[in-house]
Amino acid sequence: MKGETDANCVRESQGSAVIHFLVVSDTHNETARLEALLAQYALQMQGVLHLGDHDYDLLKFADTYALPLYTVAGNCDDESLSPRERLVTLGGQRIFMAHGDRFNVGVGTNRILQRARELNAAVCLYGHTHISVCEMTDGILLMNPGSLTSPRDNKPPAYGLLTLDSATQTFSGRIVHI
């Protein structure tokens, strides 16, 4: 349903050094919903993470919104300058980003979770499947925001919200269906 959110992932933030990030994936050159989200959240978010398949959809808005943008390339991003994997530290947490196709996420998340563990990441973000997921797995927050344009899970289009608290070293995530 419109505005419906999945259950929050575990390790909810409660401190005062809280920062928020918009997480999107698989926009496939359809930017209307992405632009609407950027307008809606521009003053509330400290950055946006795009997990591939037309990562440049986000980069089109770099001059419009003064937000840090973090992108990775997906299997449909042949011309992209973004890396296929990225490890960033935000709010004191190591966040692993990948599109997911190279980790075969269509049949399971074991390989991408293993890579997140190798990198000592607290958060693992991926896309590719167009199926939204937000869960804690072996102490790692695993999130796939689904797709803003063509979800494959019989749910409305979706995006993710990631909250990090550097004071308490906690984090949370949730999926929002639009």
Q: Is residue 4 part of a domain?
A: no
pTM of the model: 0.90
Q: Residue 13: its pLDDT value, please?
A: 38
Number of domains observed in the structure of the chain = 1
| Domain presence at residue 1 | no
Q: How many CB atoms lie within 10 A of CB 172?
A: 21
CB of 123 within 8 A of CB of 13? no
Q: Tell me: the pLDDT tens digits for 68-118?
A: 999 999 999 999 999 999 999 999 999 999 999 999 999 999 999 999 999
Read off the CATH number of the domain in which 76 is found: 3.60.21.10
- Domain range for 109: 18-177
Domain assignment of residue 143, yes or no: yes
Do the domain assignments include residue 54?
yes
**pLDDT tens sequence across 142-157:** 999 999 999 998 999 9
Place of tokens 């899970």: 153
* pLDDT 10s digits, 1-57: 344 444 344 344 344 589 999 999 999 999 999 999 999 999 999 999 999 999 889
**Measured between alpha carbons, how far is 120 from 28 in angstroms, rounded to an integer?**
30
**Contact (CB, 8 A) for 84 and 99:** yes
- Identify the H or E element spanning 24: strand 18-24
Going by DSSP bridges, is the β-strand pair 93-98/123-125 parallel, antiparallel, or unpaired?
A: parallel
- Residue 5 in domain: no
- Beta strand residue intervals within 25-167, DSSP E: 47-50, 69-71, 85-90, 93-98, 123-125, 133-137, 140-144, 158-165
Q: Has residue 42 been placed in a domain?
A: yes
Is 142 in contact with 114 (CB distance < 8 Å)? no
* Cα 43 from Cα 10, distance rounded (Å): 25
